[in-house]
Amino acid sequence: MVQAGRIVGDGLGARMRAARIERKVGLRQLAQQIGMSASSLSEFENGKSLPGAERLEALAKALGVELDLRPPEPTGPRFEDWRDFERLDLTPVFRAALDVFVEVGYHAATVRMIADRCGLSMAGVYYHVESKDALLTELLQGAMAELISRCVAADAEAESPDQRVANLVECVILFHTHRQASAVLASTELRSLDEPGRLMHLQLRRQVREIVQSAVEACRDAGRAGTVPATSTATAIVTMCVAVADWYQPGISPSPVEIAREYADLALAMVDARSTGAR
């Protein structure tokens, strides 16, 4: 039996349905109460769609349960060395979604395309995930979680402030070349995320910049003479590294290691940069 309490994102439709049945509230009765069609409510309960935050809050209030719309803390793949990248271990549904989203864009992609790509029915896809938005959210949060964990490892390995900056640049470059599809998706489809996934993604992006900013500040504390604010310098460093995913071509472009070496030199020069006072 489902007791009144906090309902979270995992299996949200099924949990809401269980709460409704426990309280002996009919589907049509609940739908009418919150101004939702019975068919839409049924689709939500069966994991085929996800209403907006306002409608979810109305459902939670009608059922007398507390709703937690915060997404779970993302987790990335494990690794032994932050420089080593194995093939990304994704389930067939998420692998197909990643490929389709990158190829045609999130809004042009359909669940039927994803189902056809991975050899499942649409119902089979919905068995694994609640909605297309949930696919995008998990893919982007997984990518950012991996990037952050690798940045933390790269930063911890450095023995000097300069090496911290160089390691972090190498780390971000390696990620945006070896995980190019995930990186492109993360940089182009932020606008497609629904809340609260969009807010979580922005927070994870900020975390990457703050790791780099800490290394820049350490360089300044160690005597580097740059006068451009550390926040602006870190933002510029991260931005130029992230952009590599847009033009990198395996086998044609310089190797990721060569790109990282050049960009590390650029980043250290940026740490030394002085403000021109231009307005």
Torsion 84-154-99-259 (CA) sign:
negative
Instruction: Answer yes or no: do 171 and 256 share one domain.
Output: yes
Determine phi and psi for 47, rounding to 5 degrees: 75, 20
User: What does the pLDDT read at residue 191?
Assistant: 85
141-196 confidence digits (pLDDT tens): 899 999 999 999 999 999 999 999 999 999 999 999 999 999 999 989 888 887 77
User: What does the pLDDT read at residue 5?
Assistant: 35
| Contact by Cβ (8 Å): 140, 200 | no
Distance (Å, rounded) from C-alpha 135 to C-alpha 124? 14
User: What does the pLDDT read at residue 276?
Assistant: 52
Structural domain includes residue 93: no
Q: What is the pTM of this model?
A: 0.71
202-230 confidence digits (pLDDT tens): 888 999 999 999 999 999 998 887 788 99
Q: Which of 31, 50, 67 is the endpoint of a domain? A: 67
In the beta sheet, which residues pair with residue 67? Answer: 7
Structural domain includes residue 30: yes
Mean pLDDT of 109-117: 95
CATH number assigned to the domain comprising residue 204: 1.10.357.10
Q: Which of 43, 67, 91 is the endpoint of a domain? A: 67
- Percent of the chain at pLDDT exceeding 90: 53
Distance (Å, rounded) from C-alpha 102 to C-alpha 88? 15
CATH number assigned to the domain comprising residue 49: 1.10.260.40
Domain count, the chain: 2
Instruction: Answer yes or no: do 143 and 61 share one domain.
Output: no
Structural domain includes residue 178: yes
Q: Is the pLDDT of residue 4 over 60?
A: no
Range of the domain at 53: 6-67
Structural domain includes residue 96: no
- 178: how many CB neighbours lie within 10 A of its CB? 18
